[in-house]
Every structure is written in structure tokens, then in C-alpha cells.
């Protein structure tokens, strides 16, 4: 039986390998000088950045067992605190570590990690404390080289760093929408029957859809189709239909002349309350709140 976590993993893999993510990562790192990494939740290993992005000070610290352990602990703590919104914590040396959640509805599918930056100018007293800590740990590092890299660490004001994190929040929202679309359209490797079933659902989502009716279009029993569909899609039939309708609703809500209730019935929901519940569960906010944040709503 397929591991239920795999569909989500495939979505994350496709997102991280997409040209959209690569272009944004390149622009962000080139423009800010900070590293960026899209990481699955529940860390199994320390988050590592591309060598050309990594702060040399942090690279040296990661070579010591205690330094690596402290970095991993900090990254776990910042992810645990960033379930609903971005969170920034500082390591023992005063460098920032930030995690920005990528949420699809109520679920965190990934984190955008950045940091390895100081928010105040380094000084000799601060480095003496760092050196003392390293000696206490018994870490064998080149203190002269470490000091050089520490004083060459990128320094930003708190306001500058907060502005960069806001950019990542906007990008995380975009990634979340793309992730939901990938969950709906698949990430490859599906059987023709499952592709046909998805296509039928997308084309008829504004009608009353039943599991039995869709199963019949691919010549399967309802019971077998239900199990096979969840195995391949990673979500059950009812949730898939709701997500399809919510994705259509997102586009219709772009038109400020359309009433929310009109959109609800146009995409196939049987009541406004049902639409509101499904939209909030999948998009993480109500349809009215979603529309209020659209650029068109501010015009």
C-alpha cells in the first residue's frame, strides 16, 4: 500500500524543483545576500544551504559536533514556533534563524528557511563570549578564521530583515496555492484511469458529483475506486471535489462584481455555509477575507 505521506512529499519535490521556486530563490539570494531553503516539516537532519549561499562562520560552526547539534536544535525550535506565522530565533552567537510556514489550509506542507544574519554590529566582547563557549564545548576550530568570518557576517537592521521576511510570506502564499493545484492535478506517474477520473471531476465539479458516478466512468466499483483514488491522490474523493471547487472559486472571486453566495453555487456547493466551511478549511481563511486581500479589492 502506498505510504500516505508520499503524495505530499511528491508535491513538495515538484515545488522545490520548479522553475518558479528556482527563479525566486536565485532572485532572493542574489538581491539580499541571504540563504534560502524550502524544507519539509519535521526535520530529520540539519537544514543545509547551498555552499555559495552559506555564511562562512556558520559553515565552520557546522563542522563541530556541538555546533551542528546546537544548529539542529535551533532549527527544530524555530519550526515548532512557526506553525501559524513566521518565527525568528537567535543562535548562541546572535545570528538569526527564520522559518516561514507554507500552509495549505490547516496543514503546513513546508517551511522556507533563511537567516545566518546579524541584526547588530558584531564586537570584540561578543566574539570573546563565542570563543569561551566553544572552548567549553571542546570544539577544535580555527578561532582566528572564525573571528574573521564573524566580523564579515551580513548585518541588517531589524526593519530591513522584517521586510525581507514579509517577501517570503508572500512567496509562501504563492507556493501554497501552487501546492494545492499540484494536489489536484497530480505530479505524474498516475494510471490512465486515475487521470480520467481527475479530469471528469474537474469538468463536472459544478454539478452534483457522487463517488459511484465517477467510479462508473472508469469502470470500477465504488469501493475499489474510493481506496485506489485516495492511494494515488493522497486525499479522499470528497476532499478532492471540495478542493477542486475551492480552486475554481478563487478565480471567480477575482471579479469584484460577483457575490460570494453566487460564487458558492456556481462552483457546485449546495449552500453558502458549506462553501464557507470548505473554503476556510482548504484556504485557511473565509472567502470574504480572501477577497479582501486581493489587489482588485483595494482598487
Q: Where are the domains of the chain?
A: 5-181, 189-298
Return d(Cα 104, Cα 29) in angstroms, integer: 25
What does the pLDDT read at residue 299? 40
Long-range contact pairs involving 86-89 (C-beta distance under 8 Å, separation at least 24): 86/165, 86/168, 86/169, 88/115, 88/161, 88/165
Return d(Cα 214, Cα 283) in angstroms, integer: 25
Cα angle 175-178-181, degrees, rounded to a multiple of 5: 155
Return d(Cα 112, Cα 161) in angstroms, integer: 15
In angstroms, the first-to-last Cα distance of the chain is: 50
Return d(Cα 273, Cα 139) in angstroms, integer: 60
What does the pLDDT read at residue 131? 93
Between the CA of residue 242 and those of 132, 235, 287, what are the distances in Å? 57, 11, 14
Helix ranges (H only) for 39-123 are: 56-61, 65-81
> Which among 103, 60, 12 has a CA at the least distance from the CA of 285?
103
Would you tell me how many other CB atoms lie within 10 Å of the CB of residue 145?
Answer: 12
Which residues of the chain, if any, have pLDDT below 50? 1-5, 7, 297-299
- For residues 70 and 42, is the Cβ–Cβ distance under 8 A? no
What does the pLDDT read at residue 229? 87
- Whether domain 189-298 has CATH 3.40.50.720: no
The two beta strands, 96-104 and 37-39, are: unpaired
What 8-state DSSP symbol labels residue 105?
A: T
Q: pTM here? A: 0.70
- Whether domain 5-181 has CATH 2.60.40: no
Q: Would the CA dihedral through 282, 287, 293, 297 be positive or negative?
A: positive
Sheet holding 87-90, edge to edge: 37-39, 107-115, 96-104, 87-90
What does the pLDDT read at residue 58? 93
Return d(Cα 58, Cα 63) in angstroms, integer: 9
188 backbone φψ class: left, alpha, beta (φ>0; ψ -120 to 50): left
What does the pLDDT read at residue 3? 45
5-181 against 189-298: fold identical: no
Between the CA of residue 25 and those of 36, 147, 236, what are the distances in Å? 6, 29, 33
Amino acid at each position: 500500500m502506498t505510504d500516505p505521506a508520499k503524495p505530499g512529499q511528491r508535491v513538495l519535490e515538484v515545488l522545490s524543483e520548479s522553475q518558479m521556486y528556482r527563479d525566486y530563490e536565485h532572485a532572493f539570494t542574489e538581491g539580499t545576500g541571504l540563504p534560502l531553503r524550502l524544507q519539509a516539516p519535521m526535520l530529520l537532519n540539519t537544514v543545509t544551504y547551498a555552499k555559495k549561499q552559506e555564511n562562512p562562520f556558520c559553515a565552520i560552526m557546522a563542522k563541530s559536533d556541538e555546533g551542528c547539534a546546537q544548529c539542529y536544535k535551533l532549527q527544530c525550535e524555530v519550526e515548532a514556533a512557526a506553525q501559524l506565522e513566521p518565527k525568528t530565533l537567535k543562535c548562541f552567537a546572535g545570528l538569526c534563524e527564520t522559518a516561514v510556514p507554507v500552509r495549505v489550509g490547516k496543514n503546513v506542507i513546508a517551511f522556507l528557511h533563511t537567516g545566518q544574519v546579524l541584526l547588530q554590529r558584531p564586537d570584540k566582547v561578543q566574539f570573546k563570549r563565542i570563543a569561551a563557549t566553544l572552548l567549553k564545548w571542546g570544539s577544535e576550530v580555527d578561532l582566528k578564521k572564525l573571528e574573521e568570518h564573524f566580523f564579515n557576517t551580513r548585518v541588517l537592521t531589524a526593519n530591513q530583515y522584517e521586510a525581507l521576511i514579509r517577501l517570503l510570506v508572500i512567496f509562501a502564499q504563492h507556493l501554497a496555492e501552487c501546492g494545492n493545484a499540484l494536489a489536484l492535478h497530480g505530479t505524474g506517474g498516475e494510471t490512465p484511469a486515475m487521470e480520467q477520473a481527475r479530469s471528469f471531476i474537474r469538468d463536472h465539479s459544478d454539478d452534483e458529483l457522487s463517488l459511484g458516478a465517477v467510479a462508473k466512468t472508469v469502470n470500477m466499483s465504488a469501493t475499489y475506486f474510493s481506496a485506489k483514488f485516495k492511494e494515488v491522490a493522497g486525499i479522499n474523493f470528497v476532499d478532492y471535489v471540495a478542493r477542486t471547487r475551492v480552486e475554481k472559486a478563487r478565480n471567480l472571486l477575482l471579479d469584484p462584481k460577483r457575490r460570494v453566495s453566487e460564487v458558492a453555487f456556481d462552483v457546485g456547493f449546495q449552500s453558502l455555509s458549506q462553501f464557507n466551511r470548505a473554503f476556510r478549511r482548504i484556504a485557511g481563511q473565509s472567502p470574504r477575507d480572501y477577497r479582501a486581500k486581493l489587489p482588485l479589492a483595494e482598487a
